[in-house]
Amino acid sequence: VSQPAFIELPAAQFTAYLREEGLGPALRQREETGQTATKPGREVYRRCAKALVLATHGPAARLPAPAADTIFNRVLGLPLELVPEQNPYRLRPGAALTVRVLAQGQPVPGALVQVWQAGVSTGTQPSAAPAVVHFTTHTNAQGRVLLRLPGAGPYLLATVRMEEAPLNLANRADWLSTWASLTFGGPQGAAKMR
């Protein structure tokens, strides 16, 4: 978890940011109290980043036996975290990956999850820079999203949660945002290591 950082945005910019990040409850609260047009957004934020790295050794490297392969879905107890329910390195292209969003270990229903897949070939010009595919989805009532991994990564998943700042920070911030991310390589290459 990163150290807290503070930011203040003009009212219109803060409102646009809340909309873009799918932070409806905070936006509604500001609208109901007449703050969207005039009151700057004073925010303290923190980041909870996770990376799932496939570490193997040698040309004949293999993934651990499925029964021993449990690190990928370990809940770390971060304030906000994304937890895959399957090892994305074991999946074949096009397979489904379920990811849970947890806040203090509890499921977060309705959370906006953004997904980026880098390095996608456009197929038009081999020398062209790889494209980045981006889409968004929301968690279900159990705090889960179901994603299809079309192919090689890397992938970046991200979500954010906004709540009122704790009283001990009220002199500097009205809101506390917690950002969670998960990066991983995806299915490519894993087929060779099964």
CA distances from 14 to 2, 4, 48, 98 (A): 22, 18, 22, 31
Share of the chain above pLDDT 70, in %: 85
pLDDT tens across 61-75, in order?
A: 666 677 677 889 999
For range 150-156, the mean pLDDT: 87
Residue with tokens 């947890």: 102
For range 151-172, the mean pLDDT: 94
For range 141-163, the mean pLDDT: 94
Provide the CATH topology of domain 5-193: Immunoglobulin-like (2.60.40)
The torsion angle over the Cα atoms of residues 61, 89, 181 and 2, rounded to 10 degrees, is: -20
pLDDT at 59 > cutoff 70: no
Q: Where are the domains of the chain?
A: 5-193
pLDDT tens across 9-37, in order?
A: 999 999 999 999 999 999 999 999 999 88
